[in-house]
Amino acid sequence: MKRLVLVGLFFIFILGYFLRVMYLPQNSLTFGYDQARDATIARQILAGDLKVQGPPASQPGLFHGALYFYVLAVGYLLGNGSPIIAAYWIALVNMLTVFIVFYLSYLMTKKYTPSVLAAFLFAISFEATQYATWLSNPTIAIFTVPLMYLGLWMWLKQKNTWGVVLAALGLGFSTQAEIFLMYHAVPLAIWLWVGRKNVTKKNLITFCLVFVASISTMIANEFLTGFKSISGLAGLAAGQEANLAYAKSVGDYLNLYLNQIGRIFAFNTYPGNIGYSGGLIVVLVLSGVVYSFKQKDKFTPELFLATWLFSHLTVVTVGGTSTPFLMVGIGPAVSLVLGITLYKWFTTGYKLPAVLVLIILTFGNINTILKENPRGSTLFSIQKDMLLSKQLAAIDYSYKKANGEKFTINTLTSPLWINIVWDYLYKWEGQNKYGYLPQWHGRDQIGQLGGLPATDKDTKNYFLILEPMGGIPLQYLDLTIGEENTKSRLLEEKSFGELRIQQRIRI
SS (H, E, C) 184-205: HHHHHHHHHHHCHHHCCHHHHH
Q: pLDDT at position 280, please?
A: 64
Same domain for 317 and 459, yes or no, is: no
Same domain for 142 and 261, yes or no, is: yes
Handedness of CA 130, 135, 136, 141 (dihedral sign): positive
Q: What is the pTM of this model?
A: 0.92
Same domain for 241 and 171, yes or no, is: yes
Res 30 pLDDT > 80: yes
188 within domain boundaries: yes
- For residue 346, what is the enclosing H or E element? helix 331-347
Rounded to 5 degrees, what angle do the CA atoms 180, 129, 183 make?
Answer: 15
174 within domain boundaries: yes
Would you say 185 and 171 are in contact if contact means Cβ atoms under 8 Å apart? yes
190-241: per-residue pLDDT in tens? Answer: 999 998 888 999 999 999 999 999 999 999 999 988 877 777 776 666 654 4
Between 96 and 3, the higher pLDDT residue: 96
Same domain for 123 and 65, yes or no, is: yes
Same domain for 362 and 455, yes or no, is: no
pLDDT range class, residue 242, cuts 50, 70, 90: very low
120-165: per-residue pLDDT in tens? Answer: 999 999 999 999 999 999 999 999 999 999 999 999 999 999 999 9
141 within domain boundaries: yes
Res 246 pLDDT > 50: no
237 within domain boundaries: yes
311-348: per-residue pLDDT in tens? Answer: 888 777 655 445 667 889 999 999 999 999 899 889 98
Last residue of a domain, one of 350, 375, 400: 375
**Which amino acid, residue 403?**
N
- CA 180/CA 327 separation, integer angstroms: 10
Q: How many CA atoms lie within 13 A of 307 on its CB side?
A: 22
Q: pLDDT at position 57, please?
A: 84
103-117, 273-287, 476-490: segment of lowest average pLDDT: 273-287
38 within domain boundaries: yes
Res 278 pLDDT > 70: no
* Strand pairing report for 439-440 and 407-412: parallel
Q: How many domains does the chain have?
A: 2
User: Which DSSP letter does residue 414 get?
Assistant: S
Q: pLDDT at position 244, please?
A: 39
Same domain for 302 and 189, yes or no, is: yes
Same domain for 335 and 397, yes or no, is: no
Would you say 448 and 420 are in contact if contact means Cβ atoms under 8 Å apart? yes
Last residue of a domain, one of 344, 375, 406: 375
Find the length of the chain.
507
Residues of the chain with pLDDT > 90, as a percent, come to: 71
Q: pLDDT at position 286, please?
A: 62
Kindly calculate the radius of gyration of the chain based on its CA atoms and give it in whole angstroms: 25
Same domain for 405 and 357, yes or no, is: no
382 within domain boundaries: no
Q: pLDDT at position 324, please?
A: 67
Same domain for 408 and 370, yes or no, is: no
Same domain for 312 and 400, yes or no, is: no
Q: pLDDT at position 243, please?
A: 40
Q: pLDDT at position 241, please?
A: 44
**Which amino acid, residue 282?**
V
71-80, 104-113, 348-357, 468-477: segment of lowest average pLDDT: 348-357
- CA 492/CA 503 separation, integer angstroms: 5
Would you say 2 and 66 are in contact if contact means Cβ atoms under 8 Å apart? no
381 within domain boundaries: no
Same domain for 369 and 392, yes or no, is: no
pLDDT range class, residue 285, cuts 50, 70, 90: low
383 within domain boundaries: no
Domain span including residue 247: 2-375
Same domain for 314 and 394, yes or no, is: no
Rounded to 5 degrees, what angle do the CA atoms 83, 380, 276 make?
Answer: 135
96-100, 238-242, 277-281, 409-413: segment of lowest average pLDDT: 238-242
Between 444 and 259, the higher pLDDT residue: 444
- What would the 3-class secondary structure string for 72-113 be? HHHHHHHHCCCHHHHHHHHHHHHHCHHHHHHHHHHHHHCCHH
Q: What is the mean pLDDT of residues 410-436?
A: 96
pLDDT range class, residue 412, cuts 50, 70, 90: very high
Last residue of a domain, one of 331, 350, 375: 375
Spell out a b/e string for 21-43, using b for 16 or more CB atoms within 10 Å of the CB, else e: bebbeebbbbbbbbbbbbbbbbb
Average pLDDT across the chain, whole number:
90
Q: pLDDT at position 415, please?
A: 93
Would you say 10 and 123 are in contact if contact means Cβ atoms under 8 Å apart? no
